[in-house]
Amino acid sequence: MTTMLQSDIQISPEVREEAVFFEVNGETLRGILCLPATGKARTGLIFAHGWSGNRHGPAGMLCTLARTFAASGVASLRFDFRGRGESGGDGLNATLTTMADDLVAATAFFSEHTQLARPWYLGLCSGGNVTIGTLNRLPQAQGLIMLSVYPFSDGDAFGRDVHRTLHYVKVYWHKACRGETWRRLFQGDVHLKQVGNVLFGHLLKRGANKRKEGEDAKGTNAGAAKDAGDNAAASGASRVKGQVAKAAASESRLQGKDAPKKHLAKLRADLPGLMFYGTADPDAPAAMAYFGDYIREHKLPMRIEVLDGANHNFSSQAWLDAIARQTLEFMKG
């Protein structure tokens, strides 16, 4: 007996979801349309997950956000990029360029099936960089919502690494003030070598990282301008390998305020954007300075929101509620 899975499910009185698929270069991409159950959507949003993730997001955060948006009248599509989740394709062959192609195809599919011609885009980490880098191929974009997005670059920033060290020094200092920490230390449950690696490993590896980037990925992530559809010719095996290894290893974190900003030129004066970072994310200050300087310099209609105590993946429901509330207000204009 064959069991047929439902493709359309009523999640709640306000939300229904539909399993969908579409084709990109001979591969099948799978996703979920999340729709208001009680009427036509007032606007739409397309999700772009991070490099090593899938359409659900860490701990289902993208799924949670999509359903919250649908309950407020916003339709959305969250899909797996090629080589991730349930989509076809080989993950080892996935690049930032293939992700850009997938996002363009997802936009066409979403617009056709919802009749929403001007969607918003929500990008998480690398997905945010891919979205920004693809804007020249997304003229219909209505606005951007960016979560924990860091700038791509050809090298890591010393200032960013110092800030990360200071962040963890503060964390470990608070732990050192607790008797429980000393008890665990004497019992052998705390390994000082691991603590030292967290505090200083990224600084000690700077030279090796730069040499590796120079050998394996010369320019492959510079500003992500090339990874958004402008770099189809640069698909040689060694170049792709370097791009995949670099992005997968760092999830966009080998960056800093001094990273190239050419790819940000795709941001437009008519394109509003809302960026979220958490104070518990040690890499956030460098990213906020990088994007903030560009936003102010070019007078872009974008703003940065900081959530107190939030980590990179906004793992608390309270933080997701805050993101959803502010995003819905922002999308209303």
- Give the separation between CA 139 and CA 38, rounded to whole angstroms: 30
Q: Report pLDDT for 52.
A: 86
| pLDDT beyond 70 at 171 | no
Look at the chain and count its residues. 333
pLDDT at 164 over 60: no
Going by their DSSP bridges, the two strands 27-36 and 8-12 should be labelled as unpaired
- Reply yes or no on whether the pLDDT at 205 is more than 60: no
Q: How confident is the model at residue 167 (pLDDT cuts 50, 70, 90)?
A: low
Mean pLDDT of the 2-10 span: 67
How many angstroms separate the CA atoms of 286 and 270, rounded? 26
Give the three-class secondary structure for 148: coil
Would you call 34 helix, strand, or coil by DSSP?
A: strand
pLDDT for the residue 325: 98
Mean pLDDT of the chain: 78
Which of these ranges, 145-149, 188-192, 205-209, 261-265, has the smallest mean pLDDT? 205-209
Predicted local confidence at residue 225, as pLDDT: 33
pLDDT at 259: 56
What's the alpha-carbon Rg for the chain, to the nearest Å?
A: 21
Helix or strand or coil: residue 265?
A: helix
More confidently predicted of 164 and 330: 330
Beta bridge partners of 10: 16
Helix (H) or strand (E) holding 304: strand 302-307
Nearest Cα residue to 118 out of 239, 251, 272: 272
- C-alpha dihedral over 139, 144, 146, 152, to 10 degrees? 30
Tell me the per-residue pLDDT of 230-246, one tens digit each, with 9 for 90 and over: 333 333 333 433 433 34
Check if the beta carbon of residue 111 is closer than 8 Å to that of residue 243.
no
Confidence band of 250 (pLDDT split at 50, 70, 90): very low
Compute the average pLDDT of residues 38-55. 93
Angle in degrees, 0-180, between the axes of helices 126-133 and 96-114, rounded to the nearest 10: 80
Domains of the chain: 9-154+255-332 (3.40.50.1820), 158-216 (no CATH)
- Token pair of 208, please? 């090796």
Question: Average pLDDT of 177-187?
Answer: 69
